[in-house]
Amino acid sequence: MARALGLNEDLTEALCLAHDIGHPPFGHAGEDALTAAMAAAGGFDHNAHTLRLLTRLESPYPRFDGLNLGWETLEGLAKHNGPVTGPLPWALAEANAAFDLALDSWPGLEAQIAAIADDIAYDNHDIDDGLRAGLFTLGELLAVPLVAEAWAAVKARCPDVAEARLVPELVRDLIGRMVNDVLAETERRARDLRAVEDVRAAGRQLAGFSPAMAAAERALKRFLYAHMYDSPEVKAVRVEAQAILAKLFAAYRDDPALLPEEWRPEGNEPVAAARRIGDFIAGMTDRYAVRRYEALFGPSALHERF
């Protein structure tokens, strides 16, 4: 999409690669667990942690903290979902104090494209995952008008191909429809703009779905929430995952010697200690979190899944 719109492809790629790097293990479920565990230390926000990770924690260079990313990259990561208003998460406030990310304005089009690409990607990959996991059937999915329309087009193009082989083509078709819609709508909204300053001064989102596609995509999301994200099977995993992180945090808080030496808090200041523990846990993968839990508490119900 960045290439088709004549945008900075390198900046767009950097934003896409980095925008969720602040997620803790188990995604949003893990974020909720860390938010609760760190309540007395200002909580946890994965977007804010992305900035903390890239400007402070990940420090491969000897002369400065962070990855030495450009301002537009940091700004786009902070605001890829739009202007940030109201009280700031503490980690974002720290980054903003250091880099002045103009949080009250919309970011450049590269960040806006990264954000809508994220929606397109997880909508369609979740269709694929949900079908393979048996959380819903193709017949149930076809109750979504956007999917039914795409399926009819796929069947018309490939009338003699078995349905099981057409599911990947369905996903490709849906991605293509959403991408083409974003390109046409973004070109329409930004037709009269000439510079990135015009984008930030527009005061509104410029890269996104048309009203019709936005409504169709919301209907798809409602289906995925009902049949996948809120399904009993997924909820059970979410509850166990949150318990793992809550117990790990409590164990490290009560006995910091359980942490690897390089991650142990310096001093006894509770807020700093909690944030240091949060940094360590947020950097875990799902599998590593399960292994650390089992080393301290014994077998986990998630052992076979991870």
135-173 pLDDT, tens digit per residue, is 999 999 999 999 999 999 999 999 999 988 999 999 999
C-alpha Rg value of the chain to the nearest Å: 22
Tell me, rounded to whole angstroms, the distance of Cα 184 from its chain centroid. 25
270: pLDDT strictly greater than 70: yes
Identify the pLDDT of residue 267: 87
**Per-residue pLDDT at 306:** 65
Both tokens of residue 46?
């994965």
* Those residues with Cβ within 8 angstroms of residue 196's Cβ, 6 or more apart along the chain or in another chain: 108, 109
Percent of the chain with pLDDT over 90: 92
User: Does pLDDT of 245 surpass 80?
Assistant: yes
Tokens representing residue 235 in the block: 């909820």
pLDDT at 217: 98
For residue 88, the 8-state DSSP code is P
Rounded CA separation 230/224 (Å) = 8
Q: Which of 117, 100, 97 is nearest to 109 (CA)?
A: 117
Q: 80 pLDDT exceeds 70? A: yes
Average pLDDT of the residues in 241-251 = 98
Average pLDDT, rounded, for the chain: 95
pLDDT in tens, 291-301: 999 999 999 98
Comparing C-alpha atoms, which of 229, 125, 225 is closest to residue 168? 125
CB atoms within 10 A of CB 97: 10
Residues making up the chain, counted from first to last: 306
- The SS3 assignment for 248 reads helix
Q: Which long-range contacts (C-beta less than 8 Å, at least 24 apart) are formed by 180-186?
A: 181/209, 181/210, 181/213, 182/1, 182/113, 182/116, 182/120, 182/207, 182/208, 182/209, 182/213, 183/1, 183/4, 183/5, 184/210, 185/209, 185/210, 185/213, 186/1, 186/5, 186/109, 186/112, 186/113
CA dist 101 and 147 (Å) reads 39
Whole-structure pTM value = 0.92
pLDDT band, residue 248 (cuts 50/70/90):
very high
- 23-57 pLDDT tens trace: 999 999 999 999 999 999 999 999 999 999 999 99
Residue 304, pLDDT > 80, answer no
pLDDT over threshold 70, residue 130: yes
pLDDT tens-digit readout, 81-97: 999 988 999 999 999 99
Nearest Cα residue to 75 out of 58, 95, 49: 95
pLDDT of residue 196: 87
| Residues whose CB falls within 8 Å of the CB of residue 140, separated by 6 or more in sequence, listed in order | 227
Q: Tens digit of pLDDT for each residue in 105-128?
A: 999 999 999 999 999 999 999 999
The arithmetic mean of pLDDT across residues 283-296, rounded, is 96
Confidence at 281, pLDDT banded by 50, 70, 90: very high
Residue 225: pLDDT over 90? yes
